[in-house]
Structure 1
Amino acid sequence: MPIPIIAHIAQFKYEHLITHWAQYTKAAIAVSTIAAFKFWTSGRTTTWERKMNGMVVMVTGGSSGIGQVVVEKLASLGAQVVILLRTEPDQFTVDYIMDLRKRTKNQLIYTEVCDLSSMLSVRKFATKWIDCTPIRRLDMIVLCSGVLLPPFMDRQTTEEGVELQWATNFLGPYQLLRILRPVIYGQPGHREVRIVAATCSSYILGNIDFNDLDLSNHPYPRKSPWKVVGNAKLALMTYLYDFQKKAEAHERPDKMPCNLHTIMANPGVVRTPGFRRVVSFGKVWGLFLYLLLWPFWWLLLKGTIHGAQSFFHAICSPEFASITQPVLVNECSIVEYSRKEITDPEFAEKLIKAADAQIDEVEKQYKKKKIKKSKK
């Protein structure tokens, strides 16, 4: 191909290529520089692949953003994927699932209703999952769900009265894993089980008050709602670390070693629908401004595919099969924790005790409200 092009140029003597060679060189350098900078901001990519035929994977937040990319990856690898949705699937979701089955040639893609912001919804799904004999197969749980409210927005609470970001980012996943613990422990010793959870750098800002986990008695940080998300991610990472340690200490009936591996993945700053909502302040004019600055966001931030690379690495890499410690993955590499509380057993004990008390109180109060409504 290059030889005919060179012969064509030599035959017809494109003099303007010679005359304006300096301008073309500058343009080529500019394009190469932008491409190199974009390659750098996109982060590392994993090279691992894995056959997952027959494996059952549960995914939260799998209908949009990074979770959607993870679901497509799992489906292409042959896994049976169970997507947890907030509500019953609408026609758009049904069409998406049917199209995904067709594109990946994988018919084992299903949806279940499990709203992580509702403790009763999580309990209803999780108890239905464990109420089965023999124990249902479960090879992996991928926690991709997350909520970050835009700045200057008032406190948002769930129907059960819990702060929305705290409930979705920590309390719901905590409730899910707490109830599914018997299923996770009951998997055969030869079967590797992984828990892959999304985290973010805001966990460094976490400052948890055990007397008021949902910040109901404190001024809501309207200018910086990511502080609440930081609390939730710090709490989730602490619980996952403790969850792994307790699994290692658990004595299996078959005397096999612990087969659970917990990985926390940090995708970085990604152009997801949640990021678009935060940057646009949840306003129409903000969305218009976001669209005007889209080349800037494209150049500096990752897309969902590049943002999901750490998840792909956590799902496919064989190195985690031999690591018994809970690990944090950033840019497809294992990094150290920036907060000492994560590995502190006393901190974890206080957190679990406070979270259990909050969930019990939430379920009790919500049941009372439902009884009053039914009587009326």
Structure 2
Amino acid sequence: MGKKVIFFEVEGGTDKGPDGYRPDTMPMVDALQQRGQEAEVIFFNVTKTQQIFDYVKEHGIAYVSRINPGNLQHEEAYFAMLRELCQAGVMGMPHPDAMISYGSKDALSKLTTTNLVPDDTFAYYTVDVFKAQFPISLALTERVLKQNRGSTGEGIWRVHVVEPLAEGMTTVPLDAKIKCTEAKDNHVEYWQLGDFMTFCEQYITGPNGMLIDMRFLPRITEGEIRLLMLRHHPVHVVHKKPADTADAFSATLFSGAHYRYDAPEDWAALVQNFLAQLPQITSLLGNYDLPLIWTADFMLDTNEAGEDCYILGEINCSCVGFTSELSFAHRVAEEILASIHENTPIAALNK
């Protein structure tokens, strides 16, 4: 009997169907089994970590992680187990450190040498560096601060100075009044800069704390462009148009954005440029195999020649869902099989 593809889930959470599984998990299991590849689902439980590891090491040829980070209480133990499985020869889809490297907001600051991210994009890992650099960044242009934790726009702030700075000033005074709009629901708050930076310390301190500081792109009001990838294959493009209100810049459904699904061919310039950058992206983010199912979010900008260009805003590869199009499971199954055959000696496939 050939080895199995193991799908990892956790019990509970709002992403489960009536059968207790994510709605897009069993379609992938079924699609693999239809192609003669053994597959099953295992629910990760931290109290059974060693038992799960031993089973997958013996019976698994690859794993596919389908756990939403918001449902995972013991992330470090889970990732440690996945690392050990990869070291033992089980193929990681994706490797846990690829999940961290691609999914962390500071991926943007690591990609400033590509043409996807402006070079005035900064990552703040300490409060001191944040307080030293951010007033300088804000003096140059309107900014967006993004916390590493959180989701659906929480802790993502559009920040600009209410009154223009005096000519020649290169840093914003701490008592300057600033307008802050949170992406979660586009609500507006007014602060003094110093007080706001003190408020933002919560995003830097604690586990995985960090802030990304990048320039605000006014054309975000034209929509965010999400590219869905299956390893190195573009699948479709989702155009997310923010709500048509004065301060709206968030493209989350929660904030009232409208979604449209397009073919990759409809966004040829974006897709071709992104694919051309993939080798450099892979190198800069740790040289891991590309994730199985992942997304890259872009915003429109205008380059020095007055042409459209696309700025990367975020990568997600932890647990990208496709519950609205379950037939996609067959393409995923084909990609899993292709990846296994590319990375596994023929003799090992039949063990």
The TM-score, its normalising length taken from structure 1, stands at: 0.29
Larger proportion of strand: 2
Larger Rg: 1
